[in-house]
Structure 1
């Protein structure tokens, strides 16, 4: 597998956004999903993006490692784990279909649009969108696990989940950093098993891993820029730009 300059260009932008989202504006990460899908195709992008996300999580944990609320994380862990397994089964079923075009593309596109809708609703409804009942907590956790397994796009769901806990800002950032690191690590063996089970439709390849290594400097730069420039970024304007570009890319994946 060889890569063209435009693929490296899109990958570099995606890596910058991953680093930036982990230490600057979290909503920037949603655009990474369709960008990487354009580079690799939908299915391969799931595994190709994961090492970069894990590295970004390490940056976030390094900055906020002392601020996690472990009791909250233990409460939601079973439901997110259940969602991971539902997502893994979905990836297996879609991989076994042997269709002419990748069926995961429209699924990721729809998930991105759903995450964008949740982001906009969260801005309008605030507390009313938070899961206030045990059933709401279970459903939100399963949706978060499913979304991150299938598309690496659970950010908006987890944001709703975490703000429902009413944590202070520093504790929220630390808990978020550890949560994403732990569950992204949990996805690695599942994706490797799915690849071994169906080598014709892999989720990891040596080529995509090496491609990701070339993007590490861009990710580190994005993390540092996010950390330094966070106080000066017009967050609303930047977020609207990211949401708009993500919506266009999601529609492209669907059609």
Structure 2
């Protein structure tokens, strides 16, 4: 029995929940989608879904954007996306799975470290260049730019409304740029678009649940659940091998 639709729906459910609640679930979404599309093609299925949620976020939070921060980040984000596109075009699917699993574990370890050892890297003059480049690179390879971008924006000392609006615009811009790289590699095509369409009902359900449950679940509880799921997804990828 083909369960691809179920895995696509689960990935989209998590996407909607993440975008309208705590965020930081990007490291789980791609491994879930890869259960239906093993390999880099999963990126092509996720990209339109992310773009749709970003557009909705921008419409919702269209005021108080910090354009100065946005202007500093985007050029470096483009550099990171370009580098990530080159990497995607030069590795085979099996290597991609291994690289992705290792990258997920490394980012998880970084988030745990930063809980107890805050780094001043996000407050120096090179912060925008580092954050933008790394977010662009990890964003196209693993849809994993959210946590790092959040850390950078928090250090900019913006008010809450400006933080939310600026974050929404940054990810919309980066995800639009990612489309060109994915199309050039043939990873975004009619087949992947059909996969994206399958997950739309689950996406909207996830948005609804994220909005409702965010009010009753603590951030610490969600963080524990997210990190547990990330660890399992990374372990699955590292031990998975295509036949």
Taking structure 2 as the reference length, the TM-score comes to 0.91
Q: Deviations over 1:131-183 (max 9, x none)?
A: 22233432222111100111211111111221121112221111111111111
Partner residue of 1:122 out of 114, 118, 125: 114
Alignment correspondent of 1:98: none
Counterparts of 1:11-26 in structure 2 under 5 Å? 11-26=8-23
Deviations 1:65-91 (A, max 9, x none): 213211100011111111111101111
Return 5+ residue gaps in structure 1 as ranges. 96-100, 196-202
Does the CA contact (< 8 Å) of 2:15 and 2:29 recur in 1? Answer: yes
| Aligned 8 A contact 2:16 2:203 in 1 | yes
1:54 & 1:174 partners in 2: Cα distance?
A: 15
Q: Runs (4+) of structure 1 moved beyond 3 Å?
A: none
Q: Compute the RMSD of aligned alpha carbons.
A: 1.8
Indicate if the aligned counterparts of 1:108 and 1:150 stay in contact, CA closer than 8 A. yes
Q: Answer yes or no: is the 8 Å Cα contact 2:80–2:134 preserved in 1.
A: yes
Within the alignment, does 1:134 sit opposite 2:125 as a pair? yes
Which position in structure 1 is the counterpart of 2:151?
Answer: 160
- Work out the number of aligned pairs and report it: 239
The gaps in structure 2 that reach 5 residues or longer are none
Which protein is richer in helix relative to its size?
A: 1
In the alignment, which residue of structure 2 is the partner of 1:171? 162
Displacement, 1:16? 1.2
2:139 alignment partner in structure 1: 148
